[in-house]
Amino acid sequence: MTRKFFGTDGIRGRTNQPPMTAEMAQRVGQAAGAHFLRGDHRHRVVIGKDTRLSGYMMETALISGFTSVGMDVVMVGPVPTPAVALLTRSMRADLGVMISASHNPYVDNGIKLFGPDGYKLSDKDERAIEKLIEQPPRLVDAPLIGRSRKIEDARGRYIHFAKSTFPEELRLDGLKVVIDCANGAAYEVAPSALWELGAEVVAMGVSPNGLNINDGCGSTAPAALQARVVEEGAHIGIALDGDADRVIIVDEKGRIVDGDQLMALIAISWARRGLLEGDGIVATVMSNLGLERFLETNGLNLVRTQVGDRYVLEAMRARGFNVGGEQSGHIILSDYATTGDGLVAALQVLASLVEDGRPASEILHQFDPLPQLLKNVRFGGGAPLEAASVKSAIASAERKLQGVGRLVIRKSGTEALIRVMAEGEDQALVEEVVDSICEAVKAA
């Protein structure tokens, strides 16, 4: 059954346009609240947000929705997405909500939901909530209307948690770290955690004004961080996205290190220390074939899933893995967190840097990736992948890559984009097939 409102990571869109309106946020609060009203206890929902201007509007509308169906609301302010997951579970809440469009520009926003266990909702729960959204709300009698309050120690709780994931016997003393917080949710917690662990911290993207989240900064725009790391003579750079559930690393030479290399490093490090479960890791179809070959060489497995960190996590839980993630930098370490956590993943990388003693450029280059190219084609509507001309271009590309590469084409679950990715031994062939499909999609 196709979901109408939920994509690969909650509900997302341009604010003040369907589905990302205040009215819809109120309906989501009413529907999700009604769905999680179970038992006779006083029900509670934790609501966090990033730094977008529209966060105020969406938060107020959600509060209205939740309280109208009898749920109490705890507001935690701007915190990373993984902090909401953590607080939902630790505060014994029935539901958690993160208001964020992650790496998207400020004009977009989104609603991510977490169950009482701190995990993102299943497809089944999302379908049930969608059904309730389209029905009249189950409003409670006046004496049962919920209350809302704000807690001030949420960031401190998350900082304490993040530091607890760093090996107790290690410190970051003597390490110069540049961190770019994307003017987003981690603008206070990430620099504070690193400083408290002993690092010399150079902070960027820590002046949010509601309009500058992900604007030329963060994990999707790391050029400024690359230059700053070299300029400062720093040992390493860390780039988070708007809600801090993903991370990209920059080595001391200013070179970008993606999620595939980070997963390889963590997998080998944890395997060496006897911490890796499942004899491998879980990644998506977008991860480079070089990662798969590297793991095989080291006696480890790679399990692939469809794109989306929720699907990675589902496979991890089903198969007993504790490391997984995406090339884009969503790294899930299930020993510590129920969702991707950019800061926690970065701390594992920093621990390896301290223990090894070699420069980041040496320890972070675990394998040589195969030539890979990803291009996005924006579309205004319809189903371009169903066009005969596009299907023909895809079939032709698959024939050319057969035995020497692979092709992944999908519609984005968060934006109006068709994503076309190919990889193989021959860079020129990879570029040829990607360009041919992109042109076909544009024409369609």
Q: Measuring CA to CA, which residue among 162, 347, 325 is closest to residue 238? A: 347
Contact 288, 267 (CB under 8 A): no
Domain topology for 259-363: Alpha-D-Glucose-1,6-Bisphosphate; Chain A, domain 3 (3.40.120)
Q: If you search the block for the tokens 């309009």, which residue do you land on?
A: 211
Same topology between domain 11-152 and domain 259-363:
yes
pLDDT tens per residue across span 64-114: 999 999 999 999 999 999 999 999 999 999 999 999 999 999 999 999 999
Contact 262, 345 (CB under 8 A): yes
User: What predicted TM-score, i.e. pTM, was given to this entire model?
Assistant: 0.90
Q: Report residues of the chain scoring pLDDT below 70.
A: 1-2
How many angstroms from the chain centroid is the CA of residue 197?
24
Q: Percent helix, strand and coil across the chain, each rounded to 5?
A: 40, 20, 40
| Distance of alpha carbon 400 from alpha carbon 392, whole angstroms | 13
**Which pLDDT score is estimated for 404?**
86
**Which pLDDT score is estimated for 2?**
62
CATH number of 175-255: 3.40.120.10
Contact 329, 222 (CB under 8 A): no
Q: If you search the block for the tokens 């092709």, which residue do you land on?
A: 407
Structural domain spans, the chain:
11-152, 175-255, 259-363, 372-443
Q: Give the catalytic positions in this structure.
A: 102
Domain topology for 372-443: TATA-Binding Protein (3.30.310)
**Which pLDDT score is estimated for 17?**
97
pLDDT tens per residue across span 356-388: 999 999 999 999 999 999 999 998 777 889 989
Q: What are phi and psi of 253, to 5 degrees?
A: -95, 0
How many angstroms from the chain centroid is the CA of residue 294?
24
Class of CATH domain 11-152: alpha beta
pLDDT tens per residue across span 286-320: 999 999 999 999 999 999 999 888 899 999 999 99
**Which pLDDT score is estimated for 284?**
95
**Which pLDDT score is estimated for 412?**
82
